[in-house]
Chain A
């Protein structure tokens, strides 16, 4: 890591510039408009998955470009991923219980 770090100049700037930030921002605004528009289209049970998919895409855009994780080290990716990994574990295991309680009633 030390060697890798020395390759970077102290004053050199390696992250994205205003152009990429603006492109990210424009994409976020378009996705935001789509979120609102799609909410009023009757898709039945698919309204929620579609809204969540758009939210995940927006989150990835923010994390990758605004938070500059795309330009980060592999160790940073591990740190970023760990938070979401444990969130998924928490949601998945808990909902395994709550959302399936009606499937097999416990004998009284």
Chain B
């Protein structure tokens, strides 16, 4: 192995194109190492976003009624448009990687530029959405409120189902079950622990309801998740711009194009996150 490696090093030292760093046997090994390293990073990204998705799952089951109304305040058409934009950009990115693998430098620049333009389009649509939420007073914080017309447009109905605070004596009764390892549970004991009931209040007073906090919770998570995703899109634009710059200086060839492949993996990951964000945030309870 060692003689072969040395021999290879000798050849590549005088080659026109950069092939691989000296710690690797050959370009194939270097490429595999790069891919593994990127996937190790993406595993941490999966858990990074995963924690937010976990908060979402919790809130979705806990505040089901108010979150359905909150989700209807998002524009599913703009979300669908952005889904299409990102899927097309993943396609152009895949073509950019293929162009690199086959050593077609002009096509690398072409497809990377298309990817950047689509990514910018995504951010523009997102900016319109955020601005609309700002105008509707749906930015979480001191000024957060749900205007009556927004509530009605979202199909909120005549009444808000208010999930009240935990007050003993005003709680929903649940089916008595013995706690594990505690034998019989006497009736009455578990009533004080059950969830508060949902009581209807007129929609005009939506902002006086406790339930509006749950809508604010939804929007806090919406901005956190789409914001973090948006930051990833911005970072992706920067990375792709660097790729274009390096490609113009002749860095990439059929034998060496690991940066293109790795940024490609990153970009597809950003697309995957949106594949889950779109139905979970925008398409909740649309059938009712």
Chain A residues within 8 Å of B, Cβ to Cβ = 1-2, 5-6, 8, 10-11, 13, 15-18, 21-22, 24-25, 28-29, 32, 35-36, 39-43, 47, 51-52, 54-55, 58-59, 62-63, 65-68, 72-73, 75-76, 79-80, 82-84, 86-87, 90-91, 94-95, 98-99, 102-108
Contact = CB atoms under 8 A, between A and B. Distances in A.
B54 A39 contact: no
A98 B27 CA distance: 48
Given A13-B101, A15-B98, A63-B272, A107 B179 contact: yes
Given A32-B84, A108-B193, A6 B275 contact: no
A32 to B, nearest CB: 6
Closest 5 CB pairs of A and B: A83-B43, A39-B283, A42-B287, A105-B193, A51-B279
A44 to B, nearest CB: 8
A34 B60 CA distance: 22
Contacts of B226: none
B182 A62 contact: no
A58 B90 CA distance: 12
B268 A67 contact: yes
* A interface secondary structure, majority: helix
A100 to B, nearest CB: 11
A24 B286 CA distance: 28
Contacts of A59: 272, 275-276
A94 B54 contact: yes
Interface stretch (B146-154, B157-165, B184-192, B209-217): B184-192
B80 A36 contact: yes
B177 interface: yes
Contact of A62 (B1, B90, B102, B279): B90
Given A42-B288, A90-B47, A105-B189, A18 B95 contact: yes
Contacts of B182: 107
A21 B98 contact: yes
A82 B80 CA distance: 30
B279 A21 contact: no
B275 A8 contact: no
Contact of B287 (A22, A41, A76): A41
Given A32-B84, A73-B32, A10 B255 contact: yes
A54 B29 contact: no
B224 interface: no
A75 B180 CA distance: 43
Given A75-B36, A107-B189, A55 B275 contact: yes
B265 A58 contact: no
Contact of B39 (A21, A52, A80): A80
B28 A5 contact: yes
B125 interface: no
Contacts of A8: 28
